Each structure stands twice: as C-alpha cells, then as structure tokens.
Structure 1
C-alpha cells in the first residue's frame, strides 16, 4: 500500500530534517504518526502526497490516496471544489451544462455526471447546506474549512487516507463524526494527530524522532504504556547512578584519608629510624605521586559517571523536568468576579444566542466553556474581559487581573526575540540572572534567546507564553485559554496540562480536546 525506504529530507537551506527513514503501511492498517513539534511529521505526509520531493530515498504508493492537510492559512484563495480536489472537473461539468461541448471538457469530466450531487451529499454529512462549490472558502471558519477537506474523503473514495491534525478546529460534534468514520472505515490510514481520543482508534503507532521511526504495535494507550515503562526504567537507572556517584565520592574521601594516615605514619617511622633527608624526600614524593594517581583515577571515574548522568537527565521528557512557578491569585476563594444577567450580542437584527445568558464567575473556579463552532465562545470571553460590551443585558465586573491566551498565542510579538519577550513581561524588575534562570526553567537555553517569535513552533510559543506569565509581578486572578492545544504535540500538551494544574486562580478553558479537559479537574461548564 505505502512503502518508504531510506528517505532523507533537507530543508531548502540544506538543514537536515530526517534521514534514512524506512517503514510501510499495509492494506487495512490504520496507523498514527506522532512525534515532537518540528520532528517532520507534516513534511513526511507532504512527501507521501507528492507535494514535496525527498533529497534521497524512495516513496511508493500503489493505491489511490487522499490527503487532508493541516490548515495554517494556506488555502484562503481556494474554492470548495478545489479543496475537494475536483475544481477542474467541476468547472468542465458546468461548461458542458452551459452548452460548451468542447472535447476537452468531456475529457476532463470523464463521464462523472453525478459529481456535483456527490459533493453536495458529502458536505451534508458534515452539516453543510447546499453550497456554491466554486465559491472561495476564505469566509469560512477554521472548523468549516477542515470539514470541507474531510468531506472530500467520501467524494474521492481513496484506498489510502493521509490526514494531518484533522481534529484541529473541529467542535465536539464534528469530532464524533470523524471518530465514527475511522471506526467503520476499511481504508488504510496514516494520521498525524495530537488528539489522544483519535489516536486510541488507530491500531498501530509510529513515533518519528531524531533517531528515525519506531513502530509500536498498538494504539496510543499501548504506546503510552510502553513509554511509561521506559521512563520508569530510566528514572530508576538515574536514581541508581546518583546513588553510585554519592558512594563513589564517599569511597574517594575514605581512600584519600586512609592514604594520608598511612603517609603520616610512614613519615614518623622514617624520622625515628634516622632515615637520611634525601631518602625521606624521595619517599614523600613517591607517596604524593601515589596519592595524585589515586585522585586522578577517582576523578576520571567520577567525570564519566557525571557525564552519563547528565545525558540520562537530558533524555527525560520535558514535562518531567520543567518548573513553572505560577503563583496563586491574590483573590480570596469564592469572591464574585463577574455577574451576567440576560446577556446577549446582536449581529444585525439577530441575537448571537437564542436564549439570553445568566451566569456568575467566582474566584477559584475551574470552568469549561463549551459549544459548537460559531456558538460565540470567543465573543463571550471578550465580554468577560471587558473588550466587548453586550448588546443587551447587564455584565457587572469586579476589579480583577485577567490574562487571555488564544490558540495562536498572539500576544507574543513576532518581531521580538525570546529574550526581549520575557524582558517585556518582566514588570517586577527581576535581575538579569533571575530572568535567565526562568528561561532555562522553561527549556529555553542560551543559544535560543536570540530567536524571533515568528520562528517559534507552537510548543515553543506556548512555553514562552507561560514563561512570560510566570515573570509578571501581578499574577492573573483569571486565566482564559482558547483552544490552547491546537498545533501542540503530545509532549507540549502534557507540559501545558502540568502548568495549568499548578495554577490556583480562576480558570476558563475553551477546548474540544476531551482528554486534555479531563486532566484539568474542571468543576463546571458553561455550554453555549
């Protein structure tokens, strides 16, 4: 079905992304492709789809395939038909209906007279009413764009399906439609995703890393179990090495003290025996050389053990090593922060919500703000933050500090370096060495400090946002995160989860990632 043999890919600037990758996807196999941000997962799918060419190696696909790309704004000028991969064929169909009987139109159509109806039916499966298939998709939301590409699966009916983060931007209802399709489908699949609920539906897991591709013959839960076992073994080995170093230090101390006592006794005996001074000096030099050799042997052994321990610690997952330091809110628990009564927003003559909203927000609460795409979740957060006033009803806000992080971490400035970003957030006047220590705690080492915001991956932007938050003098009473796991790999989702669980202020989460929200101990939900 799909064979990848010794594939190497270089970026246009000749930087190596991965090399000598080899694996295969067989008939009926449903496989996940996971790995850290920047490991090359999306690039590998583009290579398989023929959008990129490898530097070396071979990619063989011996069945019709369909590629669902990750949406990053590159399809603004694309029509619905083009997104479905049928633009040329559909335009030929419409020209024939208008009376243009040129043979090129019939060749392009290839007797596919039910094409338009098949497209409309596929879109209807994803909740779309009848559409002008040649209209650009510019005005559609991210979730709607993704659903158009997913509708293309039914239209194209491939044997091999390639999907890159297909649940990004999808609401809970649309995710369930996708999950049901994956369960019943007999297509072979290779899916890049951080959605752990989706990953559990796939029967095998390929992990892409700097060392190549590793196959785990089971779904995500099996993969996680194997990784946890490996991590536990690693932690045990690190603990053993730390114990061995302590024992080696103690052994070195005892050996040196024993040698010093032996040398001292020998010196006294020589003096009592009247040994000539020149001989005493010779014996003393011999003893000193013997002691120096002993210390050198111990030092060489200790250096090797320390180097190994440093490498072992560096191999631990980042979520196991990070320190967040997100202080608790200054508000006392249960204080009323926001009270909304008969709240609504108008768009033209229509209300955004069919029923006016009534709710209260108190300090220390952990809230899940839910709703389908287009239900007004972001609009409501802007009202809570005071950025937007309601068209009707009352919203009373008591004084409090709020911090809003959207899915693109857009409060970060693309033109600033990492170091400039954190200094901008350092409104408490922390000293330079304290700021640099905090950067290292969030896994930003010195060589990275001059990188600009526009060069950072999703996971790096997330960690930088948390670092800026930790540096602020006044910690937020309310923290609002809008789809924060989009574009994050699983490791960075775990880092974000740990940071949020450390935060003790008021939390509002907008997310369709069920596994993520389940880990946050959310107390109640507001559903739009």
Structure 2
C-alpha cells in the first residue's frame, strides 16, 4: 500500500449509487499515499467513478472523502473550448498579461499582484510544453488548432504547471499516438507527488509503484508494477485452482461416505426388522435396540450431511477464489487464407486529408499488419477507405476476399436489437441454434444473448461487435480493427488477444498499444506518415523516426 501513515486521500465508509438506484460502492474503505498507483479493474467496476469522487466531481451518498492536498484531475474524455488560447488552458493568461504590461512600463499594483512571485511563468510554461512534445504550440495559439491527442497533453501540461499534491489520470493514453505516449510515460516517471492512474495501457502501468485492484466494490493492493502484479495473480490462480481440485476430491469422498453410511444403516434396519418379525428377543429389549438404532442412524445421517455441506461450502469458496478467466474461442475455418494469396491491392491511392499510397501496394494472406503513425496521419481514413466507407480522392482499392471493419465507435450494432439479433442480421441464413452456439464462444450464453445491445457494458459491447463481424456470412478473410483496445479493461484485452490468435484470416490493426500488437503475432509493421511504408518492428525503447508534426494537412485540425 502507500508508504506513509498519513495518506493524501482517504475514503471512509463511502457508498455511491447512480440516480436509477444502481449501486457502485457500499461502504468502500481505501486510502492513497505517496507514490504512483495504478488503479485497475474490469469495465464497470467503478474506477472512473472512484476518481470522480476523489476529485469532487461526484458526491458520495454516504461516507467521507478526505484529501490532504490540492487535487489535479484529468478526465477520460477531454473537451476544450476551441476558442481558448493555449495560455488560458494552462491557467497563466492573467499572470502573463500582467507581466507583459509591467514590461511595457505599466506599473499598476494590480499587475504586480497578478504576477506574484511567478516572474518566470512563460519560461516554465514553455518548458512544460517541451516536456510533453508540445514545444511547437505557441502560447497564443487557440485550442482549435491542436489535435485531439495534443488537447489531452495540453490539459496534462496545465496540471503539471499547477503542481497539485495529488494527480488523478483517467485513461490518459486512450487518444495518444505512440510518440505522445512516450512523452506522457516520461512525465509519469518524473512525478514526485501522489499519482493515481486508471489505465489499461500496460506500458504505463509498468511505470507505477503499486497496483490497486478494484473488484466487487473492494480494493486489493499489490506492491510493484503491472508485470509484478500479473506474476502474483498467476501464483494465486494456480493455488486457487489447486484448492478447487482438493475441494472437489473432498466433496466426492464425503458423498461416497454418506452413501456408504446410508447402505450400512439400511442393512441394520433390515436386520432389526427381521429380529422384530421373528420375535427372538424380548419386546422391551428389541424396542430399546430399535430406538438406539434410530438415534444412531439419525446422528450418523446428520454428521455425514454436515460434512457434505461443509465440503460443498469449501468447494464454493475455492471456486470463488478463482478469477473469471473465460476466453473467447474462435474456430472459424472459413476465415482461413492460403499463404501467399492476394488479399488486398492499393494502387496510387490518395486519401482524403492528404495521405498517400504510392504505386501498387499489395497484402497477401495470412499476414498480420500493424498500422501505426501519429494522430491525424490518416490511419482511420485509410481503414475506412479500404472498407468502402469512404471514397478515395484518387487511385483504386481492390479487396480480393470478404472483409469486415470494426470502427472505434463500435457503431456496427443496433442498440435496439439483442446480441443474438445483431449477429443474425449479419448471417441471415444461420439458424437460431447455430447463432447461439457460436455466440457462446464469445461468452454470450443463455439470457446474455438476449440482452439488448444498448444496455451492454463497454467490454460486452466490444465482444458483441466482434462476434457480429467474425460470425458474419460470408466469413471475413480480412479483418480491419481501429484502436480495438481503447476503453477495454485488461481482461477484455486478453480476451481479444485470445480471439485474434485463433483467427486464420488476414488482419490489419491500427493501434498505439504496442504490447497488444506484439501479443497478436504481428508479422508486418506499416507506418503511415504522409505516405504508407514498411518499417522495422517497433522496439520497446523507441519508434520509427517521425516526420515533423505539422507536415500533414490534417494534423493541425485533428482530422482522423
């Protein structure tokens, strides 16, 4: 846990429920102290809600939230007024204006009050922007001129410049490209105060000092980074599964002993009845023996039933200790692409917003392509052009196999239809039983398959969208995924990796999540940076040399 006896943040007996009555926390007890904490948990476990309670954005129904320091909070969805200047976002506009007035000879007292002791405010602001790779953005620019990823870093720069005692970050790398992520990682490593970060980015989580696992409304602490956490969990899982096996064996033994006892008691009962019928002993003696036998039989039955109940309880406890580690199973032989078969041809392609594919670019099966590049380079535009959602400015896209595209927004689902109905739309000739049998492989069993898509959690919605695409007819032999791990918890990312491992078609994944890309067996790395080109595998400690951040026409506007 934290290294200090006086935590900077503490929540005591905190309860919180949404307006519709859905409970999130009931009597939560947790404290955060010095150091960097990675807050993890399944989608819907309440991680973002917990940060909002600490930041004061939400108020608990019961309990107390105490903070000993100033709080800086970076929410998951950052929105900035496009008319604001950069210095206004950084919170230094008044001090900067006063400083310029003093330098111009205006010595009014209010200017000195506005500056205070912060005479180097511009230098500090510029240094902070440089630290986050935003040195090319001037303090007088407006936020409408920066990309979505840059706006996230700009909000972070404002927090770093302010220097709060406690920094709360909610999925800060979701909209950042590989280059921007490296900058954020460095800022996190340099942070010396209290930091609580919610993230599914394992590279970021490997830079924290401790992991707080939020599960079933309680927090369990693990020392070390995410890799150390996974190692501990693996040992715990192995021990828990071993206890399940022991408890199952004990339950079988107790069932056998109860059965044996019932057989013995039945034999004694038959013998006693035989003696009674033959009246070989005095009636009083036989009556006493019968009562004693009944009492003994009752005690034995109760004893064995208690042992059986205890064995069942031990098994239940052991099963409860094993984490839900269900994996998506994809066994779709019709998605297979023979080695060397031509899958996709791009010819002299010019995309909207300026990116290009020179000459003829061909993909052959069953390649696994990682599409990387800066925010605004045109990765989403390229995938949408390949899928047919967008027409190219010039050139030709020719897909030689059936393909499917999973966009970031997951808008392939009809929210008013059930999961099963959404899948059936993509495979109209499949029987209901066939649809449900296949959905079970995506962990939608029984009533879950009948749940309306609009009520699904983030992770469930992703699984449903993936099922709708991969179970479509004809089976997709080319699968396009756009930032598939955004907003997925770690368990869902593992499930996705497992599903893609068994997919036999050609895969193109646009992602900034390098560990995820490596986990799905990428065979070819493509960099889109004005033009599409092959690059070496992304190393753990670096990136392909990027072009200047303003080379592309769409980078300033944040166009995808």
In 2: Cα distance, 1:440 partner to 1:85 partner: 49
**Where does residue 152 of structure 2 map in the other structure?**
146
Q: Is the 8 A contact 1:322 1:443 kept in 2?
A: no
Q: Is the 8 A contact 2:37 2:209 kept in 1?
A: yes
Q: Is the 8 A contact 1:33 1:191 kept in 2?
A: yes
TM score, norm. by length of structure 2: 0.77
**Where does residue 378 of structure 1 map in the other structure?**
380
CA distance 1:175–1:437, change in 2 (3 Å): closer
**Where does residue 512 of structure 1 map in the other structure?**
512
Deviations 1:505-526, CA, capped at 9 Å, x for gaps: 2222222112212211211211
**Where does residue 33 of structure 2 map in the other structure?**
25
In 2: Cα distance, 1:89 partner to 1:333 partner: 65
**Where does residue 407 of structure 1 map in the other structure?**
408
**Where does residue 84 of structure 2 map in the other structure?**
79
**Where does residue 230 of structure 1 map in the other structure?**
236
Deviation at 1:184, TM superposition (A): 3.3
**Where does residue 171 of structure 1 map in the other structure?**
177
Q: Is the 8 A contact 1:326 1:499 kept in 2?
A: no
In 2: Cα distance, 1:133 partner to 1:444 partner: 56
1:43-122 correspondence runs (5 A): 43-71=49-77, 74-75=79-80, 79=84, 81=86, 84=89, 86=91, 89=94, 110=116, 112=118, 115=121, 118-122=124-128
Structure 1 unaligned runs (5+)?
none
**Where does residue 220 of structure 1 map in the other structure?**
226
Deviation at 1:366, TM superposition (A): 1.6
CA distance 1:448–1:96, change in 2 (3 Å): farther
Q: Is the 8 A contact 2:328 2:495 kept in 1?
A: no
Structure 2 unaligned runs (5+)?
1-6, 529-560
Q: Is the 8 A contact 1:163 1:191 kept in 2?
A: yes
**Where does residue 544 of structure 2 map in the other structure?**
none
**Where does residue 446 of structure 1 map in the other structure?**
447
In 2: Cα distance, 1:6 partner to 1:83 partner: 36
**Where does residue 249 of structure 2 map in the other structure?**
243
In 1: Cα distance, 2:161 partner to 2:125 partner: 6
In 1: Cα distance, 2:359 partner to 2:36 partner: 43
CA distance 1:100–1:42, change in 2 (3 Å): farther
Quick check: 1:366 aligned with 2:368? yes
In 2: Cα distance, 1:483 partner to 1:177 partner: 20
Deviations 1:480-508, CA, capped at 9 Å, x for gaps: 21111111111221122222212222222
Deviation at 1:127, TM superposition (A): 3.6
Deviation at 1:17, TM superposition (A): 1.7
**Where does residue 199 of structure 1 map in the other structure?**
205
In 2: Cα distance, 1:52 partner to 1:465 partner: 31
**Where does residue 388 of structure 1 map in the other structure?**
390
**Where does residue 324 of structure 1 map in the other structure?**
329
Q: Is the 8 A contact 1:81 1:134 kept in 2?
A: yes
Q: Is the 8 A contact 1:2 1:62 kept in 2?
A: yes
Deviation at 1:205, TM superposition (A): 1.6
Deviations 1:298-336, CA, capped at 9 Å, x for gaps: 666556645654564455333x23453441334442221
**Where does residue 429 of structure 1 map in the other structure?**
430
In 2: Cα distance, 1:154 partner to 1:288 partner: 79
Deviations 1:263-319, CA, capped at 9 Å, x for gaps: 6677778888899xxxx9xx999999998997787666556645654564455333x
Q: Is the 8 A contact 1:32 1:202 kept in 2?
A: yes
In 1: Cα distance, 2:367 partner to 2:331 partner: 16
Deviation at 1:232, TM superposition (A): 1.0
| CA RMSD, Structure 1 to Structure 2 (Å) | 4.2
In 1: Cα distance, 2:456 partner to 2:88 partner: 28
SS at match of 2:334: coil
Q: Is the 8 A contact 2:165 2:193 kept in 1?
A: yes
Number of equivalenced pairs = 516
CA distance 1:416–1:183, change in 2 (3 Å): same
In 2: Cα distance, 1:337 partner to 1:70 partner: 37
In 1: Cα distance, 2:217 partner to 2:53 partner: 19
Which sits farther off after the overlay, 74-83 or 213-222?
74-83
Deviation at 1:86, TM superposition (A): 1.5
Deviation at 1:377, TM superposition (A): 1.4
SS at match of 1:329: helix
In 1: Cα distance, 2:83 partner to 2:457 partner: 25
CA distance 1:92–1:402, change in 2 (3 Å): same
Deviation at 1:167, TM superposition (A): 1.2
Deviations 1:64-97, CA, capped at 9 Å, x for gaps: 44222212x6546673548835277379659969
CA distance 1:142–1:329, change in 2 (3 Å): farther
In 1: Cα distance, 2:276 partner to 2:13 partner: 73
Q: Is the 8 A contact 1:32 1:191 kept in 2?
A: yes
In 1: Cα distance, 2:315 partner to 2:429 partner: 36
**Where does residue 333 of structure 1 map in the other structure?**
338
CA distance 1:6–1:62, change in 2 (3 Å): closer
CA distance 1:182–1:331, change in 2 (3 Å): closer
Q: Is the 8 A contact 1:428 1:471 kept in 2?
A: no
SS at match of 1:247: helix
In 1: Cα distance, 2:298 partner to 2:423 partner: 48
Q: Is the 8 A contact 2:171 2:199 kept in 1?
A: yes
Q: Is the 8 A contact 1:165 1:192 kept in 2?
A: yes
Deviation at 1:385, TM superposition (A): 2.1
Q: Is the 8 A contact 2:90 2:154 kept in 1?
A: no
In 1: Cα distance, 2:441 partner to 2:305 partner: 28
TM score, norm. by length of structure 1: 0.81
